[in-house]
Amino acid sequence: MRPRHTALAVLVAAVWGVNFVVIEVGLDHFPPLLFSALRFLLAAFPAVFLVRRPAVAWRWIVGVGLALGVAKFGLLFLGMEAGMPAGGSSLVLQVQAVFTAALAALVLGERPGRVRLVGMVVAMAGIGVAAWDEGVSGSAVGFALVVGAAAFWAVSNVLTRRAEVDDALAFMVWVSLVPVLPLVALSLLVDGVDANRDALTGLDWAGVGAVAYVAAGGTLFGFAAWSFLLRRYDASRVAPFSLLVPVFGMSSAALLLGEGISAARWVAAVLLVGGVALTSLGPARRGPALAVAGSPGLGAQEAGSKA
């Protein structure tokens, strides 16, 4: 890769890693499901009027919108609201690569080779260490919700692959339309009208900035830049940079939020990131490999590589 493109890939990983810290800030201003709805609302408008709908069936847009926007991000924000730290969330969410490989084997017939199987075992060992650490010192409920978010991210990855998306950015914009109303309805049901009204009437610049960052930075800029790189390089050249996401996530959470990083979490990080690398980059026995390593949004690296 050219040096400036390498720098761009690192910048995207940094933006996505810091995204978890910004989510933590946003959760101080909004109920979690409302915050997620506002994120997708800003990501969709006004971009939806400027970007042509991708040439895929509506069922894929709606399916990915529900799996990614409602289930994945809803569970992630709820998990962080329940006490899962930003740095730990950025790490645990990477288990989506293992879930994606397993789901692709079941649904798409992509049998993982030995390297991928070893990677899956190593990554799951990392999740076990992280689960023990969170059970001892953190929120077991928050941890379970973030793992659930990773599972639904895997569902959205496989749906995106089945959709055979040609333009990942346009797909992300139109997908962002889908979760807004369901998330608002769920927020009214779970958090109540008063909590939502108070959050919106008490809106300040920190809250606006948090929504703007996760929508414009984490979603639109991140996927535009990632798609740009995937149009010019093989997915196997680009995907490893996403393994930097938990590095930036954990370090920025430590620097900006004062989150401690226990010895067990370092062990979990080594096991999980190493296992994800093997799972994502190891060859499949049949069909092309899914490049699914850790971007916190669409999981559309494979889709972008086809553009």
Residues in Cβ contact with 46 at an 8 Å cutoff, skipping those fewer than 6 apart: none
Integer distance in angstroms from the first to the last C-alpha of the chain? Answer: 18
Residues in Cβ contact with 299 at an 8 Å cutoff, skipping those fewer than 6 apart: 68, 96, 100, 153, 154, 156, 157, 160, 292
Q: Is the pLDDT of residue 304 over 50?
A: no
Inter-residue contact 87 to 24 (CB < 8 Å): no
The string of pLDDT tens digits covering residues 223-262 is 778 778 877 776 556 766 777 888 888 889 989 988 877 7
Inter-residue contact 180 to 67 (CB < 8 Å): no
> Residue 44: how many CB atoms within 10 A of its CB?
25
**What pTM did the predictor assign?**
0.83
The string of pLDDT tens digits covering residues 103-116 is 888 887 777 777 87
The string of pLDDT tens digits covering residues 199-211 is 999 989 999 999 9
Which has the closest alpha carbon to 69: 156, 142, 169?
Answer: 156
What does the buried/exposed string (b/e) look like for 174-197 if buried means 16 or more CB atoms within 10 Å of the residue's CB?
bbbbbbbebbbebbbeebeeeebe
Q: Per-domain residue ranges for the chain?
A: 3-296
